[in-house]
Amino acid sequence: MAKESTSRPEWAEGGPDQGFNSFVRAGTEMATARTRTVKRRRALKADDYVQGVLAGDRTMLGRTITLIESNAAAHREVAQEVLSALLPHTGKSIRVGITGVPGAGKSTTIEALGKWLCDQEHRLAVLAIDPSSSVTKGSILGDKTRMVELSRHPNAFIRPSPNGGNLGGVARKTRETLLVCEAFGCDVIILETVGVGQSEVTVRSMVDFFMLLSIAGAGDELQGIKKGVIELADLIAVNKADGDNVQRARMAKAELNRVLSFLAPATQGWKTKAVMCSALTKEGLPELWEKVEDFRRQTGESGEFQRRREKQRVEWLDALLTEGLQDLFFRDPTVKERLVGIRQQVAKGEVPAAQAAENLLALWNG
């Protein structure tokens, strides 16, 4: 092995061999060549993620979302650091939720509307909440391949639903992903959900504007729509108003408007209306967006827009606290030990549930 020397490095200009503050360590060329072929992914620091997202680097956006979606404790810590740093750069988008029965045309509408928005220099993120996706592998995962044109658009970013297990876990990750997308520079966020369980209520709690995509039913126009969902909507769009279907769509629209006239509005100061559109012919789609813009202007002026966002942030805090407390409780060793027996006692009717709960909570609370 060649000995180390403080000598003139090969890149230095000619001159005397003194005064160089460098070691030259001889190596073999082969060894150098081999180490270079081994590509290691350097573990990124919080600041790398933050700078990448703020610089509009799509790869870094994807990696940041992957970090957020991770359940590993070490990742959670970095993710929270990243989110805190990104927070001042969030909030400047309009957040739109879309729901509707399977086959209503959500994906087709988002693809068409999304392309139209991106062509107008909007920067769009499409996210999904699908609590069933860990079981069924998710229709929205398939959507990424279905929304082919949109996913190729340089202004669009599409992310399938995270596999969080329960709705709470999926929602937390999506909420954080939404913030990262805003920091990245997206000014429109579309959040899609299939109407599974409580997912509409969850999405409603995360968006400014909530749209229900409906279709004309056979006779009963409200068929297949969960009643409660109508009350959450800021707009109902009767889709597939094309071809032979126009007349039926018109009837569905009239019926929905009649129902809406009896309901309290989902957003104070805003009148929820039913309109028609066709994702296939793209007719009525710009009008849908006009409604969103109207909504933003009106609720912005009245202060309702800001009020809802503030309320949503506090609700999120409360949800996280509830989740955290539950976690602390059920992971407590004493609770774990006692719970099995207490459950059996309650099951057999030996102890009333309320009393058992009170006792266990008191035990845990010291």
Ligand X SMILES: Nc1nc2c(ncn2[C@@H]2O[C@H](COP(=O)(O)OP(=O)(O)OP(=O)(O)O)[C@@H](O)[C@H]2O)c(=O)[nH]1
Task: Give the residues lining the site for Mg ion (CB under 5 A).
Answer: 106-107
Q: Of 180 and 256, which CB lies nearer to ligand X in the complex structure?
A: 256
Q: Of 107 and 161, which CB lies nearer to ligand X in the complex structure?
A: 107
Closest-approach residue to Mg ion (CB):
107
Residue 288 CB, shortest distance to ligand X, in Å, is 12
Residue 148 CB, shortest distance to ligand X, in Å, is 13
Q: Of 107 and 299, which CB lies nearer to Mg ion in the complex structure?
A: 107
102's contact among ligand X, Mg ion, none, with CB below 5 to 8 A by partner kind, is ligand X
Among 59, 279, 293, 235, residue whose Cα is nearest residue 147: 279
356: tokens are 């058992």
Residue 165 CB, shortest distance to Mg ion, in Å, is 21
Residue 113 CB, shortest distance to Mg ion, in Å, is 13
In whole angstroms, give the CA distance from residue 336 to residue 341: 10
Q: How far is CA 261 from the centre of its chain?
A: 32
253's contact among ligand X, Mg ion, none, with CB below 5 to 8 A by partner kind, is none
57: tokens are 């680097």
278's contact among ligand X, Mg ion, none, with CB below 5 to 8 A by partner kind, is ligand X
Footprint on this chain of ligand X (rule: CB under 6 A): 100, 102-108, 139, 194, 239-240, 242, 278-280
First and final CA of the chain: distance in angstroms? 67
Count Cα neighbours of 80 within 13 Å in the Cβ-side half-sphere.
6
Residue 283 CB, shortest distance to ligand X, in Å, is 9
Q: Of 184 and 240, which CB lies nearer to ligand X in the complex structure?
A: 240
Q: Are 162 and 175 in contact (CB under 8 A)?
A: no
Q: Of 52 and 195, which CB lies nearer to Mg ion in the complex structure?
A: 195
Residues in a beta bridge with 188: 94, 124
242's contact among Mg ion, ligand X, none, with CB below 5 to 8 A by partner kind, is ligand X
Closest-approach residue to ligand X (CB):
105
**Which residue pairs from 142-149 have beta carbons closer than 8 angstroms and sit at least 24 positions apart in sequence?**
143/107, 143/192, 146/107, 146/111, 147/107, 147/110, 147/111, 147/114, 149/111, 149/115
* Residue that the structure tokens 């789609």 belong to: 285
In whole angstroms, give the CA distance from residue 172 to residue 140: 18
Residue 194 CB, shortest distance to ligand X, in Å, is 5
Q: Are 212 and 225 in contact (CB under 8 A)?
A: yes
